[in-house]
Chain A
């Protein structure tokens, strides 16, 4: 890893990181507060049968418990979008963006191997993902604390939830970084990474809401973020293994392919 390049990346992204972290912390805090204020009303509405019961299961659990609400909050489009700022936006642009801008020339004119460059970008991405997910997790902790529901939340298991979410967004980041080293232009790199996220989200949403399509969930990375189980302290290790495997495959692909690529002169 190249420390000077890492410092450059951190300097260039600290303000964006701050904004995303604040947004996710607020979002994380809101869900326990909303649950505290409206949880009973929501349960009454669901009990009335107006809304299909599958909706109550979306996000991996019972949304009429605090843990279920928090689980929903972790894969809500708002949280996903904010987390993807770094998991896909930064990671997808890390190499392809430098290449398109022409600054990869300047970087690779230094005594930095492509593997080191990639690993530095991957480390920065991992750091950003860890911090943004931590912000949401801490927000959840703060929201539960403010409403006096820390015990109900199982706050001691929040690190497990954080780890599970880091693995999820880390897996998307690994795919985005693999796309980033594969293309000379930003658009296809981001396009591939975003398409992967959208298809994955679509499979999870459809599989969750439509029993006949439940098999699709197995093909969605979102399915392997089981926040409710993590908060009970009994996560499914296979979830972690699958997400970890995606990360390893993405990293291995990038480490093998990036040094082999021919980097022709920028157009």
Chain B
């Protein structure tokens, strides 16, 4: 059974013309890390808030952990950990008191708290009031409150915001361990490198519509790489090699684009006198920018 499943999920505020979210079809499987990408106002937060029952759908249906989002919201939240974007706390409480109170409200023992405190290096600050915390410490506290009760599903809104690179690495390791333990992670992000690094699948939304939903590996495999090679003698013949495009030869330097399988390209240059070869790795950023370059929205095929 899918952990998250939406069918035609739509949210329209009042009579405004464009819906905040339109016809979202999405399935998140157990044990995967699912990245949810999009620029500001694309519908990421709207989707998360619909899944958690903060908003009511205008149309469509969605189930989280087998519960309908409108009728089973409390049950969903019982089994879910949520990190809101720009999280706020009761600043007068100490970190420890805050985590205790939130765990009590969750009704589940904070079985992972000690480990998370250790991994995110927050244990020493727990006795201090939250008002004295830096932004990064608040974010760590937010992550801990979302994961301390070992939820089956974690919904994280911009989770690495404010974390330094070391803590980001620790956080990614935590997510990977959660995945290995069979937990499911759904998170929105603007940081494409982290999505590329840890996500199994990614959905890209734009103007409230889903424009891509793919395996990260497949998305990267399809991306165009930039190739530059330097050669002696004749330039290798690449005109009819599958996946090669935009060939430019300038003296002993050749540049081209390369999509898909690299084997035909490598075979084509095997007998050329190459003395330098650079293949720029495809990045999710290229993919992301491509999806956002057009003004015309092309919804993903269902």
Contact = CB atoms under 8 A, between A and B. Distances in A.
B145 A106 contact: yes
Given A263-B55, A265-B45, A110 B102 contact: yes
Given A263-B49, A263-B54, A264-B55, A112 B87 contact: no
A4 B88 contact: no
B105 interface: yes
B106 A111 contact: yes
A103 interface: yes
Contacts of B46: 264-265
Interface stretch (B71-79, B234-242, B291-299): B71-79
Nearest to A262: B55
Contacts of B82: 105, 109
A253 interface: no
B101 interface: yes
Contact of A111 (B54, B78, B88): B78
Interface string A229-267: 000000000000000000000000000000010111110
A102 B87 CA distance: 7
Given A12-B90, A103-B88, A260 B52 contact: no
Nearest to B54: A263
Given A4-B101, A102-B87, A109 B55 contact: no
A130 B122 CA distance: 41
A264 B146 CA distance: 20
B182 interface: no
Nearest to A111: B78
Q: Is the interface of B mostly helix, strand, loop or mixed?
A: mixed
13 contacts: A4-B107, A8-B101, A12-B90, A101-B88, A101-B90, A102-B86, A105-B87, A108-B53, A109-B52, A111-B74, A111-B77, A112-B74, A262-B13
Given A106-B88, A264-B46, 19 more contacts: A7-B104, A12-B92, A101-B90, A102-B84, A103-B89, A105-B54, A106-B84, A106-B89, A106-B102, A109-B52, A110-B102, A110-B106, A112-B105, A113-B73, A264-B54, A265-B45, A265-B46, A265-B49, A266-B86
Interface residues of B, number: 33
Contact of A113 (B55, B74, B89, B106): B74
Contacts of B81: 109
A106 B141 CA distance: 12
B87 A106 contact: yes
A85 interface: no
Interface residues of A, number: 24
Interface string B103-123: 011110000000000000000
Interface in A99-121: 101-103, 105-113
A260 B56 contact: yes
Contacts, number: 81
Interface of A: 2, 4-5, 7-8, 12, 101-103, 105-113, 260, 262-266
Contacts of B84: 102, 105-106, 109, 265
Contacts of B30: none
Contacts of B74: 111-113
Nearest to B81: A109
B105 A2 contact: yes
A214 to B, nearest CB: 45
B105 A107 contact: yes
Interface string B181-208: 0000000000000000000000000000
B13 A5 contact: no
Contacts of B102: 106, 110
Nearest to B84: A105
Interface in B37-72: 45-46, 49, 52-56
Contact of A264 (B49, B77, B105, B107): B49
